A = this chain, B = another copy of it.
């Protein structure tokens, strides 16, 4: 249009770095980070981020380099979410539960120039570096992150680097807003690492989108129970800067730490996978404390069993259910709660709350489609299809894997690998990961549905259902169950309990009582259980088994 121009006055690449720059003036002297007795204001946080950026640059980190971090939710971890991109580099946060072998694979794949390691993980990190050196690959520069502020200035330590950082460093803003800001390896342990690339633009947009979808108002108090290494803390690391919030950092997520911090700091928000909710609802009464006000608990990462939701609400938490993938910068959909649902019976309410809902504004569309024909399934609550997304909060791609990138985004949609249905109100509901679904006698069985029923048994702490090979039915549901302390029930009772509440073919045919293996983000590792179920062997003899 005649008269339109694009210039420095009216265009800036979208970047979450601008949230910090703004927080340092708008919320200057307000608390940004709390960690034990440590407190930093937003101005201090901004200064510390700039100093680490300046130090990294001095150490030779250039635009586009990868800087990896292995740390719990400590202040340095928070600051690196800004400091690394301020140096023009790409932040690669590593899962703290990885072993040395996995770490070495990811460090090699990412070609990280620097690895920052919290002392707690130093041994594993050094083992990983040893493995890399044996592979004759170049080894990243190691910087430690110690809990203490007083470190010798000659040590390659985070705090020491801050102390001697050159001042007057100029932020290396992205040249293009689609430039990468972070690299997030998905938790799947495969021989082909999937490094999900986030851009400055996508990170900016998903951050504001999550803030809006969940009514995260100005100056919230967030307890860091979501690992920051997981989708950059669901983009909330950047979100707290956008809204001038307080980041309450903790190293270990326990019921005591949760209740203590909520009471002490008047926490308004926290989040976690259903496993974290489980920790809370199964906590001993002695560890609980009354909530100081409205506390919103985001849950995502796995569909929450309705029983878990109702227990959380009984404790006074407002549970907000979100859903997304590493590939969608974390939160992509929200089960937007309608005020008219408030008066429904609890049973109805938790069923509604367990829906994955609909897309936030950073996603243009979420849909459930037939992955072959790409036709949308009807809103009948029954027809299954694959959950697909398109929009600005979809990853730029898998690092160094153009083939996988192209495959997962073909036809203009990101394929989630999750199976679900669309309800008449339009909200989606996950039924299973496509690799988890059980096909028994030609019928699809949603393991999530079976698990929800098992969770409602009063003796059950955790449950996971996987396929067990079966000569006659092809597959049958096999449940792995962990009971609550002091409870004792047998396989038959669990099966009977399920048969009363589910179609016969959906009830488990076998139940194993054991601990459930989990990823660091609290997801149950079904592939491990599937191996165990396979090892149990086929249940029915050929031509025999009858339901």
Interface residues of A, Cβ cutoff 8 Å to B: 1-12, 14, 18-19, 21-22, 25-28, 30, 64, 90, 178, 180, 195, 197, 199, 202, 205, 208, 211-213, 215, 217-219, 242-244, 336, 338-339, 357-359, 361, 364-365, 389-392, 394-402, 405-406, 409, 412-414, 425-426
Contact = CB atoms under 8 A, between A and B. Distances in A.
A457 to B, nearest CB: 34
A26 B336 contact: yes
Contact of A414 (B10, B400, B405): B10
B90 A1 contact: yes
Contacts of A180: 1, 4
A65 B361 CA distance: 28
B3 A401 contact: yes
A233 to B, nearest CB: 18
A408 B456 CA distance: 65
A3 B399 contact: yes
A501 B242 CA distance: 40
A357 to B, nearest CB: 8
Nearest to A328: B10
A361 to B, nearest CB: 6
Contact of A400 (B2, B365, B409): B2
Contact of A5 (B12, B391, B397): B397
Contacts of A426: 25-26, 28
A220 to B, nearest CB: 10
B1 A399 contact: yes
A212 B243 contact: yes
A492 B220 CA distance: 51
A400 B3 contact: yes
Contacts of A391: 10, 12
A422 B237 CA distance: 30
Oligomer: number of copies:
2
A197 B10 contact: no
A409 B213 contact: no
Contacts of A390: 8-10, 12
A139 to B, nearest CB: 21
A182 to B, nearest CB: 11
Contacts of A336: 26-27, 218, 244
Nearest to A219: B339
A437 to B, nearest CB: 24
Given A22-B359, A26-B426, A358-B26, A396 B212 contact: no
Nearest to A410: B9
Contacts of A412: 7-9
Given A26-B336, A218-B336, A339-B219, A392 B12 contact: yes
Contact of A396 (B5, B22, B359): B5
Given A3-B401, A9-B409, A215 B213 contact: no
Nearest to A339: B219
Given A22-B361, A208-B212, A5 B218 contact: no
A516 B205 CA distance: 45
Contacts of A339: 219
A163 to B, nearest CB: 27
Nearest to A5: B397
A387 to B, nearest CB: 13
14 contacts: A1-B397, A2-B402, A3-B396, A3-B400, A4-B180, A5-B409, A10-B202, A10-B397, A25-B358, A208-B208, A211-B212, A213-B218, A215-B217, A242-B361
A481 to B, nearest CB: 37
B213 A9 contact: no
A414 to B, nearest CB: 5
A242 B212 contact: yes
B413 A9 contact: yes
Contacts of A244: 336
A18 B399 contact: no
Nearest to A398: B3
Please indicate which of the listed interface residues A19, A22, A336, A414 has the most CB atoms of chain B within 10 Å of its own CB.
Answer: A22
A208 B208 CA distance: 7
Contacts of A19: 361
